[in-house]
Amino acid sequence: MSLIETPICNFNEPIQEFSLLSTKEITVSLKDIQGPGGTLIMFICNHCPYVQAIMKEAVTISNTIKGLGIHTVAIMPNDTEYESEDSFDNMKLFSKKNHFSFPYLLDETQEIAKKFGAVCTPDFFGYNNKGQLQYRGRIRRLNHLTPVMEGESELLSAMKLIASNGQGPKKQFASMGCSIKWK
């Protein structure tokens, strides 16, 4: 496992189009999931301990921001031949186990992860209702894979701000996690 940090937010970068297979075995595209208040795209996987450490809170945040008109999608970018725990069948189990209320998509060709510039799991991209990137940061600080539960999650605070005025916070801290397993 290689620990990677995400780059700084490239404010106003446009959201990328995609059309990928979901764990419900239907194709989901950007137009299907964009919310009237914004969109949260999470690049995650099943096996990464950093993802596992934050997944419960990520699901809670997704449910909260849905009330603000922000819709969420999760995309699994890893090479499933390299990491069998991230197989499509295991994605189905992972989404059920974690009570996903949002689509979980397989980026089998890794084209979408590359278009977004995703580098690790988890990697969060928060967009306003114009499809402009406003947040590329962590969910909250971790201490040895344990979330530090001081105050509101940075991701939740950022998405609330995006819903209210269309702009993310200027100060953001990089997310970190397992490197994407490229083909």
Q: How many independent structural domains does the chain possess?
A: 1
pLDDT at residue 26 tops 60: yes
pLDDT tens digit string along 134-174?
A: 999 999 988 878 777 888 999 999 999 999 999 999 999 99
- What is the structure's pLDDT at 16? 98
CATH number at 145 reads 3.40.30.10
Those residues with Cβ within 8 angstroms of residue 93's Cβ, 6 or more apart along the chain or in another chain = 46
- What is the structure's pLDDT at 1? 56
What is the 8-class DSSP label of residue 145? T
Question: How many Cα atoms are found within 13 Å in the side-chain-facing hemisphere of 42?
Answer: 29
- What is the structure's pLDDT at 143? 80
What is the 8-class DSSP label of residue 23? T
H/E stretch holding 5: strand 3-5
Compute φ and ψ for 134, nearest 5 degrees.
Answer: -130, -15
* Cβ contact 20:91 at 8 Å: no
Per-residue exposure over 120-144, b if at least 16 CB sit within 10 Å of its own CB, e if not: bbbbbbbbbbebbbbbbbbbbebee
pLDDT tens digit string along 100-115?
A: 999 999 999 999 999 9
**Please, what is the average pLDDT of the chain?**
96
d(CA 167, CA 11): 9
The residue-averaged pLDDT of 67-96 equals: 97
Compute φ and ψ for 85, nearest 5 degrees.
Answer: -65, -20
- What is the structure's pLDDT at 149? 80
d(CA 105, CA 23): 6
Domain housing 46: 3-179
